[in-house]
Amino acid sequence: MEVLTSQDYKEKTSQGAVVVDVGADWCPDCRKIAPMMDALAKDYSQVKIFKVDFDKSEDLKESLGIKRIPTLIFYKDGAEVGQRLVEPDTKSVIEAEFKKLV
């Protein structure tokens, strides 16, 4: 999955159905949902999924108001939609938001 920076964030989330996964390599919960996100990426090929590195994108993390990871943010044509998922722990919870997005 492509990693976003503050420079390309707005452009990459501006069109279509997009999910942004904010996390870090050292985060156990982030590693736990990684295979779920990979599976959902295959099942929902019409949804673009991007990552934001919690440690490397301080400015982006601040502007998005991220306090805990993993956090999933859902966009439709540039507008944040649905609810953010903070520390989701099951594929079914994440997939429910994917279904709303498409």
Catalytic, out of 17, 18, 19, 27:
27
Helix 28-43 / helix 91-101 crossing angle, nearest 10 deg: 40
Strand duo 17-23 + 79-80: pairing:
unpaired
30 has catalytic annotation: yes
Catalytic, out of 30, 52, 60, 72:
30
Evaluate whether 13 touches 75 at the Cβ level (below 8 Å). Answer: yes
Evaluate whether 40 touches 96 at the Cβ level (below 8 Å). Answer: no
73 has catalytic annotation: no
| C-alpha 72, offset from chain centre | 4
**Catalytic residue positions?**
27, 30
